[in-house]
Amino acid sequence: METREPVAFFLDRFGLSARNLEDTVSSAIARRADYADIYFELRTLQSLSLEDGIVKSAGQHVSQGAGVRVVAGDKTGYAHSDDVTIESLRIATRTAQAIAQHGGEPGSVAVRPAKLTHDLYHLKQSPSDVALDDKVELLNRIDVAARRQDSRIKNVLASVVAEHKIVVIASSAGFVVGDVQPLVRLNVTCIAEENGRREQGTYGGGGRVEYSYLLEDDRYLRFTRTAVEHALRNLHATEAPAGSMTVVLGPGWPGVLLHEAIGHGLEGDFNRKKVSAFSGLLGKQVASPLCTVVDDGTMANRRGSLNIDDEGTPTGRTVLIEKGILKGYLQDRLNARLMGMPLTGNGRRESFAHIPMPRMTNTFMLSGESTADEIIGSVDRGLYAAYFGGGQVDITNGKFVFSANEAYLIEGGKVTRPVKGATLIGNGPDVLTRISMVGNDLHLDEGIGTCGKDGQSVPVGVGLPTIRIDALTVGGTQAG
Distance, in Å, from the CA atom of 134 to the CA atom of 127, rounded to the nearest integer, reads 11
Q: Got the DSSP string for 201-245?
A: EEEEEEESS-GGGGTGGGHHHHHHHHHHHHHHHHHTPEEPB-EEE
Please state the length of the chain: 480
Distance, in Å, from the CA atom of 361 to the CA atom of 347, rounded to the nearest integer, reads 10
Beta bridge partners of 437: 468
What does the DSSP 8-state code read for residue 264?
G
Phi and psi torsions of 322, nearest 5°: -125, 115
Can you give the pLDDT at residue 1?
Answer: 46
Cβ 161 vs Cβ 139: under 8 Å:
no
Structural domains of the chain in order of their starting residue, each with its CATH number? 6-235 (3.30.2290.10), 239-475 (no CATH)
Q: Please list, in sequence order, all residues whose beta carbon lies within 8 angstroms of the beta carbon of residue 278, skipping any fewer than 6 positions away.
A: 265, 266, 271, 286, 326, 329, 429
Distance, in Å, from the CA atom of 241 to the CA atom of 254, rounded to the nearest integer, reads 19
Of 260, 257, 338, 320, nearest in space to 284 by CA: 320
Can you give the pLDDT of all 480 residues of the chain as single tens digits?
Answer: 445 589 999 999 999 999 999 999 999 987 678 999 999 999 999 999 999 999 999 999 999 999 999 999 999 999 999 999 999 999 999 999 999 876 666 567 888 889 899 899 877 888 888 888 999 999 999 999 999 999 999 999 999 999 999 999 999 999 999 999 999 999 999 999 999 999 999 999 999 999 999 999 999 999 999 999 999 999 999 999 999 999 999 999 999 989 988 999 999 999 999 999 999 999 999 999 999 999 999 999 999 999 999 999 999 999 999 999 999 999 999 999 999 999 999 999 999 999 999 999 999 999 999 999 999 999 999 999 999 987 788 888 889 998 999 999 999 999 999 999 999 999 999 999 999 999 999 999 999 999 999 999 999 999 999 999 999 999 976 544
Radius of gyration of the chain (CA): 24
Cβ 453 vs Cβ 384: under 8 Å:
no
Are β-strands 238-239 and 243-249 bridged in parallel, bridged antiparallel, or unpaired? unpaired
Buried b (16+ CB within 10 A) or exposed e, 311-325: bbbbbbebebbbebb
Of 31, 172, 36, nearest in space to 103 by CA: 31
pTM above 0.85, yes or no: yes
Q: Got the DSSP string for 104-130?
A: --------EE---S------SS-GGGS
- For 325: left if phi > 0, alpha if psi spans -120 to 50, otherwise beta; the answer is beta
Are β-strands 347-348 and 357-358 bridged in parallel, bridged antiparallel, or unpaired? antiparallel
Can you give the pLDDT at residue 477?
Answer: 66
